């Protein structure tokens, strides 16, 4: 890399991207910022949040003395991320918009736009690292801050997307990032981390989805077949969910809380089980499709690995085996809770993220062995 190269940093208005820009400038790169607007609707609260974020990004750019570009990728986001996720919700699955957003917006639309502006590299405030294997392929590495590590959200990136990417926060912890931001004079040094759906933000999830998905109420049924209540729509629930069931306080079923164990799509019934570790919530494995491998090829044979089912989920030792039709079977060494179809399973070899796939089917204990 030539440190005189132009790097365009995706400035979101948050502290992570701000410190990323400062670090790159300190390393001698020519740095410019780009603020992405990826969601548009008639929600006044969302619009105000976006403008506040842009004001924060502008303050960062002014403090650093760098140009700040602005681009609108809302059409691409709606078509390539949001509509896909709505289809998954309608089918009863649980998609992850952040993963698609990284693949198709931040490292496609943003990358293409940055190249048109003359960028040699792009950078973001993700907590992850980039390395290189013995064959010269780019590798995706865990961040030093394990609590913030975001490789789970980045597993769909290709060699072409990783080649121009820079992740300056790979070796820093979040407290260190905030300390740098405070010392440099960024007004957003104590700004809370963003939460909720990527670029849409934190909001009443059920009320938001109702604007886009037609749902039909149905029965909430125990794993024993007893009707316990009514759900507002299967799309609003995911495996392992506790909140929103409104089943508390039953005199005939005292004690442990209820959790979503399954969905009967044909019968429009939500199946629930009582107790955090009820057997109906536990699986020894899964089958996943739509696999993406960071190196572009993936393993030829069965491998040992660790796997994550969710961001910040503890790594679970497992064995990964190739099946027919680009399907893979993952068997955990010990039963794993709340495996949700539609979510991503991401696999690792030590510090290196190998890739991942979309969970299609859960494997109960008797089916896995």
- CA proximity to 20, closest of 34, 10, 5, 30: 10
Query: What's the token pair of residue 206?
Result: 């059920």
Residue extent(s) of CATH 3.40.50.620 domains in the chain:
6-184
**What pLDDT is stored for residue 196 in this prediction?**
56
Architecture of domain 215-276 in CATH? Roll (2.30)
Architecture of domain 6-184 in CATH? 3-Layer(aba) Sandwich (3.40)
**What pLDDT is stored for residue 172 in this prediction?**
98
Which residues are part of the catalytic machinery? Answer: 101, 198
Tens digit of pLDDT per residue, the chain (369 long)? 565 799 999 999 999 999 999 999 999 999 999 999 988 765 555 556 788 999 999 999 999 999 999 999 999 999 999 999 999 999 999 999 999 999 999 999 999 999 999 999 999 999 999 999 998 999 999 999 999 999 999 999 999 999 999 999 999 999 999 999 999 999 999 888 876 565 555 567 788 888 899 889 999 999 999 999 999 999 999 999 998 898 865 556 667 899 999 999 999 999 999 999 999 999 999 999 999 999 999 998 899 999 999 998 899 999 999 998 889 999 999 999 999 999 999 999 999 999 999 999 999 865 544
Residue extent(s) of CATH 2.30.30.280 domains in the chain:
215-276
Pick the CATH number of 280-368 from 3.40.190.10, 3.40.630.10, 1.10.10.1100, 2.40.30.10: 2.40.30.10
Residue extent(s) of CATH 2.40.30.10 domains in the chain:
280-368
- CA proximity to 352, closest of 151, 186, 170, 206: 151
**What pLDDT is stored for residue 19 in this prediction?**
98
pLDDT, tens digit (0-9, with 9 covering 90-100), for 226-270: 999 999 999 999 999 998 898 865 556 667 899 999 999 999 999
**What pLDDT is stored for residue 312 in this prediction?**
87
């Amino acid at each position: 890399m030539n440190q005189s190269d132009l790097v365009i940093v995706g400035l979101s208005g948050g502290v992570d991207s701000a410190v990323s820009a400062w670090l790159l400038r300190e390393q001698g790169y020519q740095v410019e910022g780009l603020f992405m607007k990826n969601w548009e609707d008639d929600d006044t609260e969302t619009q105000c949040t976006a403008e506040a974020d842009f004001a924060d990004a502008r303050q960062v750019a002014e403090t650093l003395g760098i140009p700040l570009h602005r681009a609108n990728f809302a059409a691409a986001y709606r078509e390539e991320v949001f509509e896909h996720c709505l289809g998954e919700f309608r089918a009863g699955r649980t998609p992850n918009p952040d993963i698609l957003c990284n693949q198709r917006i931040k490292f496609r639309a943003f990358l293409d736009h940055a190249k048109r502006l003359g960028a040699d590299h792009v950078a973001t405030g993700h907590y992850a690292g980039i390395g290189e294997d013995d064959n010269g392929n780019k590798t995706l590495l865990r961040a030093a801050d394990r609590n913030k590590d975001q490789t789970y959200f980045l597993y769909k990136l290709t060699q072409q997307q990783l080649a121009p990417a820079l992740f300056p926060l790979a070796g820093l912890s979040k407290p260190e990032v905030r300390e740098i931001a405070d010392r440099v004079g960024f007004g957003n040094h104590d700004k809370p981390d963003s939460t909720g759906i990527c670029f849409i933000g934190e909001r009443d999830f059920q009320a938001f989805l109702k604007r886009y998905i037609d749902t039909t109420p149905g029965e909430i049924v125990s794993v024993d077949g007893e009707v316990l209540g009514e759900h507002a729509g299967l799309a609003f629930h995911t495996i392992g969910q506790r909140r929103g069931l409104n089943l508390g306080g039953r005199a005939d079923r005292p004690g442990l809380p209820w959790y979503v164990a399954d969905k009967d799509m044909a019968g429009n019934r939500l199946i629930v089980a009582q107790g955090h570790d009820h057997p109906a919530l536990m699986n020894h494995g899964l089958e996943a499709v739509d696999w993406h491998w960071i190196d572009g090829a993936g393993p030829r044979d069965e491998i040992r690995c660790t796997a994550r089912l969710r961001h910040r989920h503890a790594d679970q030792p497992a064995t990964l085996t190739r099946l027919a039709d680009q399907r893979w079977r993952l068997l955990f060494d010990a039963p794993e809770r709340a495996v949700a179809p539609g979510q991503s399973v991401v696999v690792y070899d030590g510090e290196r993220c190998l890739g991942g796939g979309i969970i299609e089917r859960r494997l109960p204990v008797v089916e896995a062995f």
